[in-house]
Structures are given as C-alpha cells and as structure tokens.
Amino acid sequence: MNKISCLILYCFLTSLCNKTYAQEVNSGLVIPFKLLGKIKPRSANSIKSSIWSVGGETLDRDYANYNSYKRYLGPLGAKRIRLQSGWAKTETIKGIYNWLWLDSVVNDAIAQGVKPWMQIGYGNKIYEGGGTAAIGSPLPSSAEARKAWDIWLAALINRYKDRIDEWEIWNEVDHQGDQTPAAEYGDFYVRTGEIIRFIQPKAKLIALALTTGGFMYKTYAEQFLSYMAGKKKLGLVDAITFHYYAPVPEKMPEDLMSFKVMTGKYSKSIKFWQGESGCPSTGNSSGGLREYNWSELSQAKYILRRMMNDRSQNLELSSIFQISDMIGYNGKTNSKGLLRANPDKTIAYAKPAYYAMQHVTSIFDDHLILNSSSKITTNIPDSISIQRYTNQKNGTQTLSIVLSRERPSDEQKIKLADISVSACRFKKPVYVDLLSGKIYEIPAMNVKRDADKIVFLKLPVTDFPVLIAERSSVLGN
C-alpha cells in the first residue's frame, strides 16, 4: 500500500472515530425558526455535580466490555456509573481474589470524572449454598458461604474505600419467581451493612433495588422497612433504589408520591434513587419493556423523557440502564445500550440515545433547581407536561415541555402550544430540540410579555422534551 492509500485509509478511519462525538441526530422535528447553533457537550470532568448516572452493569458476567466503551464514558457527561462487584468473577478459587478486572474499571472511570457507585453481589457457586452469579440468585445461606461473603465483602470495602462510598446491597431481591423473603433480606442487609460501616463509617448504604412492580405495589419494601424498624436498624438505610421500567415514564410521579408516604412512616431521612431505567432500541430484545417494538429513535425519546421526569421529581440520583448493549443476556442481545455493540462486544456506534443523554447532562447540572413558584397554563393541558427550572448561579430560567400521554413512537406527533408562565422572565428566549441538540431563536411574534407573566405562542411540542431557555445559558451569547 502506497503513502497516498495509507493517508486515505487513515482519514477514513479517523472520520469514523469522529462520528462518535459529532454524529448528526435528526429528530424529524421541523422548526420554523432561525437556527442559532447546537448544544455543546460537556464531559464529566467539566461538570461539578449532577444527579446523572449511567449503568456499567453486567461486566461481572462479561455481557459487555469496559475497554470497548470507555472512550465514550467521560464525554457522555454522567457524573456517576453504577458497577456490579462480581463476587463470583473475583473469587473463582476459594480465598483467592482477582481484583484486576474491577481495579481497571474503577480507576479509569474516576480518571474521567465519573464516580462509581457499587451494587454488591451476586452469589458464588464455588460455595455450597453460595447462590449463583446472576440476577435471581439466592442470598448466601450456608455457614460456609455466609462466612466467605463476609470475608470477601470486607476485602472489597477495604480495597475501594478511598474511591467508593456508595454501596447498594444486592439487586432486585423482590424479583418475581425468585423473591427473597423480606425478613431474610433484612437480616442479610444488616449483616452486610454493619460490616461496611465498621470499615467505612461514612459510607452511604442503599437498599432494595426494587423492580417496577415492587416499587408500584410497595408491599415488599414495607415489609423490609418494618423489619429494619423492629431491629432498630433504620439508620443503615440512607437511600432506596427502584427500577421503573414503564412504557410511559410520566406515570412515575403518582407511584413515587405513594411510595414516599409509605416510607415516611418509618423514616423521613431516606433518599430515593432511580437505580435503573431505560428501554431497548430494537424489537425482540430481552429484559424490561421487551414486549414493545422499539427503535433507536423511540429509545432516544424515552431516555429524554425518563431523565426529565426524574429531574422533575427531585430524585437524588437517576441512572440510565445502560451504556452498552449486553451481548448474550439470557441468550440474546439486550439492546438497552446507549451504544450499539457488535457480537464481539466491541462498539459499532453511538445511538441517538447517547447524544440525547449528552444534551441533557450538558444543560441540567446541579445549578438548575426545580421551581414550582409559577402558575403555568397551556391550551393543551390534558396531554402536556411542563416544568420550570431556575439556575441558582445566574438566575436564568428554563422550561421543559413534552407531550406525555403516550409511549414515545417513531411518528412525529406535533402540536402547537400556547404556554403562559407567571412570575417568570426571559431576556432572549430560545427553543432547544433536546434530541438533535439544535437551538433556535424564538421570534418576537411568538412571545407576549405582560407585567406579571410571559406567554409563548404556537410553539411546536412533541413526544420528547423540548426546552425554552435563556440564550446565554445554552449558547453563551
């Protein structure tokens, strides 16, 4: 191959790599306003703090490969990554631990500005009564397995206590068909939590990782909290995680309010985390929401709606499941990844959902807080969700708007909305398409200003969130 051919090949390969971060995502939304620019992505290292997390699960079972996707992690802009500790992967020979696989993941994520939080589990079949390495595993039950768990757990906490301080104890214990009795989980939780706190007194302990059904119906969670209260061990529960896989993300607030009321009977200090949520990007996937016919477009819309709905509920953390497709999960591909994975677990490309999440993380850091002080009215109240956010640093306002009645689809269902917001001011409002990242000027004819309110007229809204934002907050000018 001559030098010219080599140069052409190099340029071609470089262009493919660059598509990772510069791919044009077409939302299909036709906006009759002047295009001003696009959202500039922010890497995790450039963001001080936010609620956003991304799933790095299943590395313990080799359904994904961290080395394949790590170059996408920091640029995504999530500030945390959920990892699974993988007892069975670390201890394949009794009493001998191989931490190298986990060390490399933890250290690289931190170097990119992404803080790991760790789900501890699953079981280990090298011990009789030790359970299995998969979801649905029984808790360690024999004396030998429980002792081995305690020793391995202490080694885990000691190894990572200088880098990780958020520990989630087991995963989806209420899983249908393999449900662990709440009292049994409570006993295991206390045993595990006390070992963690002995080694790392300021560790944050996270309970339950409830399935969607467990979160909605609350019975299992209440049994667990009742057990913990009876043992006077509620101080070991800093947060509860839940996994809300529902086709319409905006159904969650009602369930969350009910869950908070129940939890409040036992403790007012427990925080709430969306520990897992997402959807496939194909039909015939595996795992949650597999019964629907998804596409990469509808997945991206869902991720946007999931994130903005979680943000509107003042959750302490929201984690999107997950960064990479999972190859071989239940004998299939679980296509929930933000990244399309090849059969060998290398990454083919970043899906539209990756860029959609990147747009949200770039704008919605912890400077923006939910502002419920305004009265917001619209001409289409039955089908729209609107939230207002205020930037604590500079006082600028942002509105998030979405048609929220139905599951996101591949069709463009556009309505023209008139939106009135009291006690809210914009100097130079712009319209932001969160899917494509495009930012448009809102013409003066579409804005009516009164002394005590601002009204936006005939704004296109659809089944994924769009924003009205201050120009300076998203374009810097």
Q: DSSP code of 252?
A: H
The reply to whether 213 and 109 lie within a common domain is: yes
Q: Is the pLDDT of residue 9 over 80?
A: no
Banded model confidence at residue 330, pLDDT cuts 50, 70, 90 = confident
Do 335 and 288 share a structural domain? Answer: yes
Q: Find, among 84, 151, 86, the residue nearest to 123 by Cα.
A: 86
Q: Is residue 259 part of a domain?
A: yes
Q: Which residue has the higher pLDDT, 19 or 183?
A: 183
Considering the domain architecture, whether residues 310 and 406 belong to the same structural domain is answered as no
Residue 431 maps to a domain: yes
Report CA 65 to chain centroid distance, whole Å. Answer: 19
Within-domain flag for 155: yes
End residue of a domain, out of 318, 335, 364: 364
CB 280 within 8 A of CB 239: no
Q: Average model confidence (pLDDT) for the chain?
A: 94
Q: What is the CATH number of the domain that holds 250?
A: 3.20.20.80
Same domain, residue pair 333 and 404: no
Same-domain pairing of 289 and 400: no
Question: What CATH number does residue 396 fall under?
Answer: 2.60.40
Match 């747009």 to its residue by tokens.
359
Q: How confident is the model at residue 14 (pLDDT cuts 50, 70, 90)?
A: very low
Q: Is the pLDDT of residue 224 over 90?
A: yes
Q: If pLDDT is split at 50, 70 and 90, which confidence band does 23 have?
A: low
C-alpha 131/C-alpha 141 separation (Å) is: 8
Instruction: Tell me if 346 is assigned to some domain.
Output: yes
| Residue 381 sits in the same domain as residue 345 | no
Q: Is position 11 within any domain? A: no
Distance CA 324, CA 351 (A): 10
Query: Are residues 347 and 445 located together in one domain of the fold?
Result: no
Which residue would you say has higher pLDDT here, 2 or 81? 81
- What is the tens place of the pLDDT at every residue in 232-288? 999 999 999 999 999 999 999 999 999 999 999 999 999 999 999 999 999 989 888
Mark whether 113 and 151 lie in a shared domain: yes
**Number of domains present in the structure of the chain:** 2
% of the chain residues with pLDDT over 70: 95
- Judge if 283 and 396 occupy the same domain: no
Q: What is the pLDDT of residues 186-207, one digit of tens each?
A: 999 999 999 999 999 999 999 9
Half-sphere exposure of residue 452: CA atoms within 13 angstroms, side-chain side: 4
Tell me the Ramachandran region of residue 100: left when phi exceeds 0, alpha when psi lies from -120 to 50, beta otherwise: alpha
State which residues form the domain around 387: 370-474
In a domain, 38, yes or no: no
Residue 227 lies in a domain: yes
Give 17's pLDDT tier (boundaries 50, 70, 90): very low
- Same domain for 336 and 382: no
List, for residues 331-382, the tens digit of each pLDDT value. Answer: 899 999 999 999 999 999 999 999 999 999 999 999 999 999 899 999 999 8
Q: Among the three residues 364, 384, 407, which one is the final residue of a domain in this structure?
A: 364
Residue 29 lies in a domain: no
Picking from 321, 342, 364, the residue at the C-terminal end of a domain is 364
* pLDDT (tens digit per residue) in 147-178: 999 999 999 999 999 999 999 999 999 986 67
Mean pLDDT of 444-458: 95
> Does residue 297 sit in the same domain as residue 407?
no
Instruction: Report the C-alpha gap between 392 and 6 in whole angstroms.
Output: 52
pLDDT of residue 431: 99
172 plus 259 within the same structural domain: yes
